[in-house]
Structure 1
Amino acid sequence: MAHNLTNLVKGMRDVRFASTPLLMVGLFAAGLYGFLAIADEVSENEIAAIDSHLLLMLRTPGDVSRPLGPPWLQETMTEITSLGGYPVLVILVGVVVGFLLVSKKFGPALFTCLSIVTGTALGHVLKLIYDRPRPDIVDHLVTTHTASFPSGHATMSAVVYLTLASLIVRLVEDTVVRVYVISIAVLLTVAIGISRIYLGVHWPSDVAAGWALGVAWASLSSLVVTGLRFYRHRDEASS
């Protein structure tokens, strides 16, 4: 059983800065604590004033239907927010998993699917549990269909982009490439979350909680990889 599990990380490299257990434990703990702290504030409605103030800051004074900035900024934010939606993320994950399959890295392909699917499912379950209404003090500039907390786009973008980034850095050796991949994943995650607030479809606390949850899940996935790599090395050394 343990040997079969270690096959999930076959072909992955050990990356010191990306897989340091203490760093990943710290990120996991910080993300989990951040999510629980925000969720507690939301449950007790103690963060409503801050949420409302931040949302209104992004709208034209006297006209909450108009976001700040020129028309092209709203269009840009709409395009950015689509990068955290299901169509783009499913295609992206499918392309990466397809690459892993044709490269005969079947274990990493399966691990990637399991990590992202379970992380996304967790976000949806939490939406059902908290069932927070969408913001009602500003106009929504894009269509929404689910509850507000935590932000699905913020959660899924963090889970997908950070998980894929942690996978890619284990498949390449160039440090510059690794730093670039991690940086792009973080920037995309942040930009998508900000776009949800700008478009008025999420309270800022929804997005912050989604980021925290996504970081915690991606860090946990990285810790699992590190553990499986350790057991694989031990098995290979003893054989």
Structure 2
Amino acid sequence: MIALIEQHPQLLALGIVLILTMALLWLIQHLMIRYGKRILVLISRIDFWLRGHIARLPLMVRLQHKYPAMFGFITKRFARGHFSGLILTILTLLNIYILALFAGLVEDIVEADSIVTTDLFVSQHMSVLQDSSIVPAFVFITSLGSTPITCLVILLTAILCAVVRQPYILVGLLISTIGSTAFTFLSKMAFHRARPIDILLQEHTYSFPSGHATISIALYGFLAYMAIRFSQSFIHQVRILSLALLLCLLIGLSRIVLNEHYLSDVMGGFLVGTLWLTIAISMMEWLTARGKINWRIVWSAPQRYIAWFSVVAVLIATFIYATFYQFPLLG
């Protein structure tokens, strides 16, 4: 192991990144499980106090009497307890912020800012790892974001939604996956960014943004949202979120390690995926508010078996796909 690290010092840096990432996720998970509910209660109390304090300010009282329609509209946008209030406002502001980040990233790439220098630096170091023993593991991980596997995941999810009699969930799933895929395709066509030179698995599409990074957030993020909404345990919800974040980060990292994409491509893909995931979640919450989706169903034993069978089937299919399609591309 020491000789391998001495031969490829980049492995040490990669290992440190993985360890720090997992340690950070574990720490966040631990803090959320231990203090999450207390923090939410504290935030709720502070929010209640602020609302009452702001409503009593002389300026707000004058505005309410002078502009009742505008004041009423703003008040509804921050009202709690229904989807069209505070929830929709937060989701909308989040989407605007994500779009601004994406636009800033695009500007940096087009103007060949420091991010491009970082891209080239990282790509050059990753190209050294092409003959290392970690490549097969990352090929398997990256296969989870491939088109055949994601289509299988969508199909199995659709079957599961039919089994639990919640078909409207498919609306959000399709919005997240199809919307993000279309946005990524159009972005690739618009920017025409070439992929890194030392690419391991030959691809015929452009580089920015990363489709695998996009679909990791859009698809697996949505599955995590489903699992969190169906779960009644706060601890399970936190652990599901942590596992989903780790999976998405690993898929994005696999694109960099295999030199399929630059660092900024993966960052752009994460932003696109998050944008469409947020839109899909907004649709799900709207449908939930209208009574179209019931997240508090009691899962029967056969339904749970189908869910776990789907997970195992995806892992087996990913192994087969990586073995008979991806690995031969390594030459």
TM-score (norm 2): 0.58
Instruction: Give yes or no for the alignment of 1:158 onto 2:212.
Output: no
1:182 is the counterpart of 2:241: yes
From 21, 43, 50, give the equivalent of 2:118: 50
Equivalent residue letter for 1:95: L
- Structure number with greater CO (CA < 8 Å, separation at least 6) is 1
Q: Which of 200, 204, 211 does residue 263 from structure 2 map onto?
A: 204
Partners of 1:22 and 1:30 lie apart in 2 by: 12
Tell me by how many angstroms 1:118 deviates.
Answer: 1.9
Q: CA deviation at 1:144?
A: 1.0
Distance 1:153 1:190 in 2: 11
Residue pair 1:115, 1:221 contacting (<8 A) in 2 also:
yes
Q: Deviations over 1:57-103 (max 9, x none)?
A: 334xxxxxx317x7321111111111111121111121111100122
Shift of residue 28 of structure 1? 2.8
> How many Å separate the matches in 2 of 1:88 and 1:41?
33
> In the alignment, does 2:274 pair up with 1:215?
yes
Unaligned runs of 5+ in 2: 1-80, 293-331
Deviation at 1:27, TM superposition (A): 4.1
User: Is it true that 1:95 corresponds to 2:156 in the alignment?
Assistant: yes
Aligned to 2:287: 228
Does 2:102 match 1:35? yes
Please state if 1:84 is matched with 2:137: no
1:229 Cα deviation after fit? 3.0
Give the drift of 1:105. Answer: 1.1
Q: Which residue of 1 aligns with 2:129?
A: 67
| Separation in structure 1 between the aligned mates of residue 167 and residue 290 of structure 2, nearest angstrom | 18
Moved over 6 A (4+): none
Contact 2:199-2:259 at 8 Å conserved across structures: yes
Residue 231 to residue 102, structure 1, CA distance change in 2 (3 Å): closer
AA matched with 1:56: Q
Alignment partner of 1:192 is 2:251 = yes
> How far off is 1:22 after superposition?
5.8
Please say if residues 176 and 279 of structure 2, whose CA atoms lie closer than 8 Å, have aligned partners that are also in contact.
Answer: no
Shift of 1:179: 1.6
Structure 1 distance, partners of 2:125, 2:153, is 33
Q: Paired residue for 2:41?
A: none
Deviations 1:162-184 (A, max 9, x none): 11211222222122222222222
Is the 8 Å Cα contact of residues 97 and 113 (structure 1) preserved in structure 2? no
Partner of 1:119: 180
Aligned counterparts of 1:151 and 1:115: Cα–Cα separation in 2:
16
CA-CA distance at 1:231 after TM superposition: 4.4
**Structure 1 residues 115 and 97: CA distance shift in structure 2, 3 A:** same
Distance in 1 (alpha carbons) for counterparts of 2:214 and 2:245: 12
With normalisation by structure 1, the TM-score equals 0.78
Paired with 2:246 and 2:95, the residues of 1 have a C-alpha distance of 19
Could you tell me whether the CA contact under 8 Å between 1:30 and 1:216 is conserved in 2?
Answer: no
Tell me the number of residue pairs that the alignment of Structure 1 and Structure 2 aligns.
Answer: 208
